[in-house]
Amino acid sequence: MEQPLQPKAVIVIFGATGDLAKRKLFPSIYRLYQHGKISKNFAVIGLARREWTDEVLRENVVESIEEAVSPDENLDEFVSHFYYHPFDVTEDSSYQGLKHLIKNLEGEYDTDGNRIFYLAMAPNFFGTIANKLKAYELEKSDGWSRLVIEKPFGHNLESAKGLNNQIRSAFKEDQIYRIDHYLGKQMVQNIEVIRFANGIFEHLWNNRFISNIQITSSEVLGVEERARYYDHSGATRDMVQNHILQMVALLLMEPPIKLTTDEIRSEKIKVLRALRPLDKNEISKSFVRGQYDAGEINGEAVPSYREEDEELTESNTETFVAGKLLIDNYRWAGVPIYIRTGKRMTEKSTKIVIEFKDIPMNLYYKKDNDRNPNLLSINIQPNEGITLGLNARKSSEGSLAEPIQLAYNLNESSGINTPEAYERLLYDCMIGDATNFTHWDEVALSWKFVDTVLDAWSKEKADFPNYKSGSMGPKEADELLAKDGFHWWEV
Ligand SMILES: NC(=O)C1=CN([C@@H]2O[C@H](COP(=O)(O)OP(=O)(O)OC[C@H]3O[C@@H](n4cnc5c(N)ncnc54)[C@H](OP(=O)(O)O)[C@@H]3O)[C@@H](O)[C@H]2O)C=CC1
Ligand SMILES: O=C1O[C@H](COP(=O)(O)O)[C@@H](O)[C@H](O)[C@H]1O
């Protein structure tokens, strides 16, 4: 087997005592190590205000790895690469000490001066950190320096622009890696392969043969421990502005002329530019918001969103959103793209369904209005794979058609928000491949689109709660499709 590239680097994690570092980043770095994608030439510096030591950080790293993956006997060697530095990102004195530590570790681990600054902290610190890294010349080294930024990237277009300007005054666009963990998922990465490597799909991938596209990302969990963040965000900012619009772009983009970062990004950007702007006075015609009420999931009673935390008792934040998008370009004119996502729904699942236009006349069905259009389903999670719904005669008797499915299931379940996605993305960042990270233009265009919806909603109090926990959202989300003659496919 071909040996993978083994990039060298010092990885600095801002917010190393936090939830993301523990649940996702440490296990992902370990998996890179297990898989031989990093070996001896790396060190990780964890930063946060807590008075931890190297030992305490290492204990936490071990714990997080044991919870997330099955460790090998190499775990001790692996954690010996971790160092902790108590650090307040707002204090200048911290950066000088960090500079010394990085220099020492670069010598000890022979990392060629390559540096990753991973900002796993609240976004209000991003600009400050980038500027201080620049002021103390931490981004200057004999190798490369890259900045990895977590979501949310701003709260709306205006704040995203402000944040971007701050970051860009310290780092160039090609040094900035804006993480969208959906872009690290196996089946999201597969969208372009399924499309562009298969003539049977690509030739039909347009408004002549596709009647509509549906993207559903449903969650069973509620707001959990993140009420403060989530209530300020809501489902549209949390899921649509980033993950869902990224999937839309991958599904609808033209074939890139080459598989390079710039070419792929440029095609995705064109899709986002072609999103039909919404009329702010008629948002309810194409967007539906919801907030979960109490209900039952898997036989267990669960509270309403407003009962989850005392700060939420009067919340007007949407925990569900469904929308109809139109793309004004030659290939997609007239094809509705329906999206929906929400918390406390029936199941944890992310799925894309492509509904092909039906045959012109009914020869093989029982009733005149019987129809079973062909559906291609791209299953992102928890099952990964594709299914193609066709019609066939199942037995030799009779002459009627019945639905059948061709299925391809990857024998690996992606789990929920898995370390695998972070593992892929971290590795891409280390080898300098920014394809699966979002370019500023994508971020800006996505905000521009969702801002219209959010501005309109902010002016009117919603009639919440309006869907039961354990359901697939409010009835208006079904009506959105019904008025176009479609329905959600629960395939
Ligand atoms: N958790 C998740 O699943 C996801 C998180 N994200 C994003 O990742 C980022 C981090 O989230 P998460 O880990 O959940 O947040 P947490 O609140 O769990 O962690 C925040 C971290 O920041 C540190 N911190 C806070 N203030 C300072 C300061 N002044 N100086 C230095 N360190 C500081 C905290 O440590 P200390 O108190 O010791 O200083 C802690 O390590 C956010 O942008 C979030 O939106 C994105 C997707 C998923
Ligand atoms: O970014 C986010 O994604 C998760 C859902 O991710 P998944 O990989 O489990 O589908 C969501 O729960 C969270 O609210 C959001 O911030």
Atom 8 (ligand 2) nearest CA: 417
Contacts of residue 376, defined as CB under 8 A and 6 or more positions apart, other chains included, come to: 201, 353, 354, 356, 386, 387, 388, 389
Atom 5 (ligand 1) nearest CA: 20
| β-pairing verdict for 320-325 and 337-342 | antiparallel
Is 370 part of any known ligand binding site? no
Is 181 part of any known ligand binding site? yes
Atom 16 (ligand 2) nearest CA: 238
Is 20 part of any known ligand binding site? yes
Instruction: Answer yes or no: are the C-beta atoms of 453 and 63 closer than 8 Å.
Output: no
Instruction: State the distance from the centre of ligand 2 to the C-alpha of 449, rounded, in angstroms.
Output: 20
Instruction: State the distance from the centre of ligand 2 to the C-alpha of 182, rounded, in angstroms.
Output: 9
Q: What is the model's pLDDT at position 397?
A: 72
Residue 224, phi-psi category: left (phi > 0), alpha (psi -120 to 50), beta (remainder)? left
Is 335 part of any known ligand binding site? no
Enter the tokens of residue 292: 């979960």
Low-confidence ranges of the chain (pLDDT < 70): 1-2, 411-419
- Give the sheet arrangement for strand 375-381, strand by strand: 287-290, 320-325, 337-342, 210-218, 349-356, 375-381, 385-392, 402-409
Which DSSP symbol is given to 178?
E
Question: Is any atom of ligand 2 closer than 6 Å to the C-beta of 417?
Answer: yes
Question: Is any atom of ligand 2 closer than 6 Å to the C-beta of 350?
Answer: yes
Task: Compute the distance between CA of residue 448 and CA of residue 457 in angstroms, rounded to an integer.
Answer: 15
Contacts of residue 439, defined as CB under 8 A and 6 or more positions apart, other chains included, come to: 173, 178, 265, 269
Atom 13 (ligand 2) nearest CA: 238
Instruction: Answer yes or no: are the C-beta atoms of 78 and 43 closer than 8 Å.
Output: no
Instruction: Answer yes or no: are the C-beta atoms of 156 and 447 closer than 8 Å.
Output: yes
Enter the tokens of residue 2: 């071909």
Question: Is any atom of ligand 2 closer than 6 Å to the C-beta of 418?
Answer: no
Instruction: State the distance from the centre of ligand 2 to the C-alpha of 211, rounded, in angstroms.
Output: 29
Q: What is the tens place of the pLDDT at every residue in 339-396?
A: 999 999 999 999 999 999 998 888 887 777 777 899 999 999 999 999 999 999 887 7
Q: Which helix (H) or strand (E) holds 85?
A: strand 82-86
Peptide bond before residue 403 is cis, with ω within 30 degrees of 0: no
Question: For residue 126, which of 443, 436, 453, 451 has the smallest C-alpha distance?
Answer: 443
Is 185 part of any known ligand binding site? yes
Ligand 1: residue of 13, 19, 147 to mutate (most ligand atoms within 8 A of CB) is 19
Domains and CATH numbers, the chain: 9-150 (3.40.50.720), 183-483 (3.30.360.10)
Enter the tokens of residue 210: 């596709």
Task: Compute the distance between CA of residue 62 and CA of residue 84 in angstroms, rounded to an integer.
Answer: 14
Q: What is the model's pLDDT at position 360?
A: 86
Atom 34 (ligand 1) nearest CA: 15
Residue 462, phi-psi category: left (phi > 0), alpha (psi -120 to 50), beta (remainder)? beta
Question: Is any atom of ligand 2 closer than 6 Å to the C-beta of 219?
Answer: yes
Instruction: Locate the ligand 2 atom nearest the alpha carbon of residue 226 and give its number.
Output: 14
Q: Which residues of 466-487 are buried (b: 16+ CB within 10 A; e: fewer)?
A: bbbbbbbbbebbbebbeeeebe
Task: Compute the distance between CA of residue 268 and CA of residue 441 in angstroms, rounded to an integer.
Answer: 10
Task: Give ligand 1 pocket residues (Cβ under 6 A).
Answer: 15-20, 48-50, 87-90, 120-123, 150-152
Is 267 part of any known ligand binding site? no
Question: Is any atom of ligand 2 closer than 6 Å to the C-beta of 180?
Answer: no
* Secondary structure of residue 352 in the 3-state scheme: strand
Q: What is the model's pLDDT at position 363?
A: 84
What does pTM read for this prediction?
0.95
- Would you call 439 a catalytic residue per the annotation? no
Q: What is the model's pLDDT at position 417?
A: 58
Q: What is the tens place of the pLDDT at every residue in 257-309?
A: 999 999 999 999 999 999 999 999 999 999 999 999 999 999 999 999 999 99
Instruction: State the distance from the centre of ligand 2 to the C-alpha of 76, rounded, in angstroms.
Output: 31
Q: What is the model's pLDDT at position 169?
A: 93
Instruction: Locate the ligand 1 atom nearest the alpha carbon of residue 21 and give its number.
Output: 13
* Secondary structure of residue 48 in the 3-state scheme: strand
Residue linked to tokens 């669960």:
302
Amino acid, single-letter form, for residue 347: E
Instruction: Locate the ligand 2 atom nearest the alpha carbon of residue 421 and give its number.
Output: 8
Selecting among 35, 243, 439, 487, the annotated active-site residue is 243
Instruction: State the distance from the centre of ligand 1 to the C-alpha of 305, rounded, in angstroms.
Output: 23
Is 468 part of any known ligand binding site? no
As a three-state string, the secondary structure of 236-298 is HHHHHHHHHHHHHHHHHCCCCCCCCHHHHHHHHHHHHHCECCCCHHHHHHHEEEECEEEEEEC
